[in-house]
């Protein structure tokens, strides 16, 4: 997860994704979710 913070938004992954996913944005959101759960701000069932 910590590697997400090293993303330099070069868009190499987004230009190759066959689904057109905005991978850097998705990774940022997943990291935010992860940090909220890890800090106890959000609970998952
Ligand atoms: S995640 Fe995608 S945009 Fe970020 S550094 Fe890696 S290839 Fe570049």
* Tens of pLDDT, residues 8-40: 999 999 999 999 999 999 999 999 999 999 999
Q: Is 15 in the pocket of ligand 1 (CB under 6 A)?
A: no
Q: What is the pLDDT of residue 44?
A: 87
- Nearest Cα to 17, choosing from 4, 28, 26? 26
What confidence category does residue 45 fall into, taking pLDDT thresholds of 50, 70 and 90? Answer: confident
Q: Is residue 45 part of a domain?
A: no
Mean pLDDT, residues 2-8 taken together: 96
Q: Is residue 43 part of a domain?
A: no
Q: Is residue 9 part of a domain?
A: yes
- Nearest Cα to 8, choosing from 31, 29, 24, 26? 24
The best mutation among 7, 29, 30 to test binding of ligand 1, ranked by most ligand atoms within 8 Å of the C-beta, falls on: 7
Q: Is residue 44 part of a domain?
A: no
Q: What is the pLDDT of residue 39?
A: 96
Domain that holds residue 18: 2-38
Q: What is the pTM of this model?
A: 0.82
Q: Is 23 in the pocket of ligand 1 (CB under 6 A)?
A: yes
Beta-carbon contacts of 17 under 8 Å, excluding residues fewer than 6 positions away, are: 23
Does residue 37 contact residue 44 with C-beta atoms inside 8 Å?
yes
């Amino acid at each position: 997860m910590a590697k997400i913070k090293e993303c330099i938004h070069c868009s190499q992954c987004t230009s190759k994704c066959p689904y057109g996913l905005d991978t850097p944005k998705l990774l940022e959101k997943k990291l935010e979710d992860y940090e909220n759960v890890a800090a106890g701000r959000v609970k998952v069932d």
